[in-house]
A = this chain, B = another copy of it.
């Protein structure tokens, strides 16, 4: 059956600027069979759309599917998770008393190493895609493992389930650990090329799935490998993802392992290592950036590299509190990452909530520039980072993140719980913790959603116009 044109009706909410949400009430959005938004019509109901918009688009009424947001529901752009380790999902919430370096050794590497088993990979990747879709994640920048077959499987499953994704085979040719690494820089590069080739064959136009070059982080790569991956990125034009300045011990080790004499960088900063290898580009996603120096932040801004802010992870692993305002003030594009399983939650909404909360702790630490209170992120800003900011981080800013003609329909239908006059709720309302009493303004309802919402509020999810999740 050919994909049908779709008419979405009701309230649409999306970011128009960092600190601004637009509320489009009684609006019609038309999405064609390719999943592209072809009309956004304000003050428009079903009849009016049929009478005035359909003729303009050349649409035949009988061939259009109509989807309405009920009273109290709204359409919102799908969330973009700019940093998530798909294979680590079973470890979500398991930290013991570890911090980054021992957490990797104790929990992460043993689990990732086991992805040589494709049946296990299928089980976990299937679940993580289902789970993130149910939370409204329409696009994810995934780290896989070093294994080509399992990485390709992750790409296949995303393609099949319809989740937009960047898929990165993880490159690491240096200890730790001995039992889980590429044999050499050459082997790492060859395996990366093999995975890229698979994804290109799967989705030649990158309509949904795209490869992303993924040096795990500086410490797990030799400098020649970093350089070769930089060259590969330049050759292919593909995006890059890696970690930076997550943890203070890590930063000290990077300085020790990558002296200027080795890298030829101007200084021995962490960002300088990536820059010297050609990995600091406008298509680079840097996860964490908790402890960047002013000089490094300036370099990142100059190169146009982007930052994936992962507050759940940074708090849980005790890494620190990233000064997001300082990065934004420098014009660095920022999005949110769940960083499963450094982050405990697969939900970008949880990442948004923690971004708001952690920003208050940045205030307590006096880390903000230009007046301490400025460090605070508002609910609106966190939602910008979760959608439009994230789109910029993963290089999709012209395609997804908000509702406009020419953009693709990656969206979620959000519903909140209505409390009756007797203080009860209707049976089968789906539950969840966002209770609306009826007198709340729409900005207050959105704030309630950010603070107490979960996957129960995400009723349906679309990617490129296709339904990819429906809440039962």
Contact = CB atoms under 8 A, between A and B. Distances in A.
Interface of A: 89-90, 92-97, 119, 122-127, 130-131, 315-316, 318, 320-321, 344-347, 354, 356-358, 360-361, 363-365, 376, 378, 419-425, 427, 431, 433-435, 437, 439-440, 444, 447-452, 454-456, 472
B435 A131 contact: yes
Number of chain copies forming the complex = 2
A95 B169 CA distance: 42
Given A315-B357, A361-B321, A444 B94 contact: yes
Nearest to A363: B318
A383 to B, nearest CB: 13
Contacts of A93: 434, 447-452
B315 A126 contact: no
Nearest to A448: B93
Contacts of A433: 131, 345-347, 454-455
A127 B423 contact: yes
A142 to B, nearest CB: 15
B452 A90 contact: no
Contacts of A448: 92-94
19 contacts: A89-B435, A90-B439, A93-B434, A93-B447, A93-B452, A122-B423, A123-B437, A126-B423, A127-B423, A127-B435, A315-B358, A315-B361, A316-B360, A318-B363, A318-B364, A345-B433, A345-B452, A431-B455, A454-B454
Contact of A125 (B96, B361, B423): B423
B360 A92 contact: no
Contact of A357 (B316, B360, B363, B454): B316
Contacts of A123: 419-423, 437
